[in-house]
Amino acid sequence: MTELIETKLSSEIIFQGRFLDVRRDVVELPNGKTTTREWINHPGAVVILPILPDGLIGLIRQYRYAAQGEFIELPAGKLDSGEKPLACAARELKEEIGYKAGKLTFLAQIHPAIGFANEVMSVYLAENLEKTDCNPDADEFLELLPTPLEDAVTMVWNGKITDVKTIIGVLWLNRLCQQHRQK
């Protein structure tokens, strides 16, 4: 089997933002030649699949500036410095939709943009939710959209949900529910 590893020879931060930076690395390719790789260094994030007390999924509607549009998504957020994914999931659930989970179950890790970022997202199922106060970030505006799972799956397949983390989460939850029904 051919070795596919690229070896970093040097790295330069070409932009430093509030929570991410853009880097330009010089790498040695498997064939011995060199090239550059530009990539985003991201602290990581979580995505939460909240099952509301009435059994609906807690989707949200939010404007995303980079994509210049409103998107239907699952609640999610970036890790704060030193924060563990489980703690981040609990914090984001409360901040974004105003619920506390009686049970948070880790489902998977996903890499949403491997071509240009090192972001890793941890996916959690949030069950046994209890209503609390919302506490969104000062620059965060969103709307809770309680949605039946079947409708969320339809929105994935008809293109109304295009956010990759939400597509993965909805289809993962649908698979879990199908497996549960088969037992």
**pLDDT tops 80 at residue 2:** no
Q: Give residue 10's pLDDT band: very low, low, confident or very high (50, 70, 90).
A: very high
The stretch 133-141 carries a mean pLDDT of 77
Give the pLDDT of residue 168. 96
What's the pLDDT band for 137 if we cut at 50, 70, 90?
A: confident
Q: How far apart are CA 35 and CA 27, in angstroms?
A: 6
Contact indicator for 96, 50 with CB cutoff of 8 Å: no
Q: Is the pLDDT reported for residue 64 higher than 80?
A: yes
pLDDT in tens, 13-61: 999 999 899 999 999 999 999 999 999 999 999 999 999 999 999 999 9
Model confidence at 134, pLDDT cuts 50, 70, 90, reads confident
Pick the CATH number of 45-182 from 2.40.50.140, 3.90.79.10, 3.30.70.330, 3.40.50.620: 3.90.79.10
Whole-angstrom Cα distance, residue 172 to residue 27? Answer: 36
- Signed CA dihedral, 150, 151, 154, 160: sign only: negative
Predicted confidence (pLDDT) per residue in 82-131, tens digit: 999 999 999 999 999 999 999 999 999 999 999 999 999 999 999 999 99
* Token output for 25: 């690395």
pTM for this entry = 0.92
In this model, does residue 136 exceed pLDDT 90? Answer: no
Q: What is the 3-state secondary structure (H, E, C) of the chain?
A: CCCCCCEEEEEEEEEECCCCEEEEEEEECCCCCEEEEEEEECCCEEEEEEECCCCCEEEEEEEECCCCEEEEECCEEECCCCCCHHHHHHHHHHHHHCEEEEEEEEEEEECCCCCCECCCEEEEEEEEEEECCCCCCCCCCEEEEEECHHHHHHHHHCCCCCCHHHHHHHHHHHHHHHHHHHC
Determine the pLDDT at residue 140.
Answer: 77
